[in-house]
Amino acid sequence: MNFLFEKVIKLPRVSLAITPTPLESMPNLTKVLCGPNLFVKRDDLTGLALGGNKARQLEFYLGDAQDQGSDVILTTGAVQSNFVRTVAAAAAKLGIDCHVQLEERVSSVDEVYRNSGNVLLDRLLGATLHLYQKGGNEEDADQALQLIASHLRSHGKSPYIVSLSLGHPPLGALGYIVCAQEILEQTQKLSIPIEEIICASGSSSTHAGLVFGLRMLNSNIKVIGVCVRRSAKLQSPRVFNRCIEIAEFLGIDLPVTLDDILTVDCTLFPGYGRLNKMTVEALKLSASLEGLILDPVYTGKVMASLINRVREKIYSNNSNILFLHTGGQPGLFAYEPELRLALDS
């Protein structure tokens, strides 16, 4: 075993995700697009509260929380945040309280968006919800979270804050260092030489952890991060800075260079949590051809970018490309009115 990888897995950690997740081919989508061989890493099947990539990330956060003797988990995210939903589920599984701050990041939403999907699950999982109106500013949201934490401490609680912004221990990214090892083992066993992995790039924990893990494990597989919240110009330095944080946290030399950080933003318009025609097409094609359910905010936009890259002939026909399915399906139901109109047209 790589001695640096061994250093990661010896950190405090709890078991939340069902792993390894399957790595499957997408033969029908491959045939229709007349492009490279397409595969999917099914991290939507991690199991915890309908699955998704957040379960891998939270194993290290919750391990650290238990190590510190915390009795409340506190985090912040968008109203339809998959991370918030998974934090609530992890807290429930471990028998501790959970407070979540829901940020207003998407404008002009209806009551379906505010009450269905992940919000419904947050309530069902027993989380205490706090609403925050200024959803576009990470620093302000973190400050508001600190106020909630102070209130909890004044009532004798010991809260553990899970923050996804830069400047905090990058524990979530460690889950995707572990996933990088898993992918390498699976592709070797299946004799599939993967040239590129394409994934969502938002908080950057998944993207940075994956590229960091691959380079740490001496793999040169490209990782393309599809921007879901900010432009590629802003996202690339964020991912690189996260990689620097990982190296500093582990006390090792940085195995990643700026050239390793690849981001695209062709499917971001009109912004975070907003649908576009390319994403609707990706949702329809994935479901109707592969029985693969994606979400409008993250994986739908990643698949839309993958389809666009195939159509632009970026890949040779004998390439093997891996789509990282990070889950998020509960959020699909929050977009029912808009999706119904798009599917009927």
Catalytic (active site) residue 81: yes
Answer for the pair 130, 99: CB distance below 8 angstroms, yes or no. Answer: yes
Instruction: Specify the amino acid at residue 243.
Output: C
| Alpha carbons 261 and 247: distance in angstroms, whole number | 15
| Alpha carbons 103 and 340: distance in angstroms, whole number | 25
Sheet holding 23-25, edge to edge: 23-25, 37-42, 320-325, 196-201, 222-227, 262-264
Tell whether omega for the bond before 296 is within 30 degrees of 0, i.e. cis: no
> What phi and psi, each to the nearest 5 degrees, are found at residue 150?
-65, -40
In sequence order, the 6+-apart residues with CB closer than 8 A to the CB of 221 are 194, 195, 196, 197, 214
* HSE value, Cβ hemisphere, 13 Å, CA-based, for 1: 11
Out of 81, 201, 203, 305, the active site residue is 81
Nearest to 61 by CA among 206, 174, 202: 174
Helices of type H across the chain:
3-9, 27-33, 54-67, 82-94, 111-115, 117-124, 138-154, 171-190, 205-216, 232-250, 277-290, 299-311, 336-344
224 - beta bridge partners? 198, 262
Catalytic residue set: 81
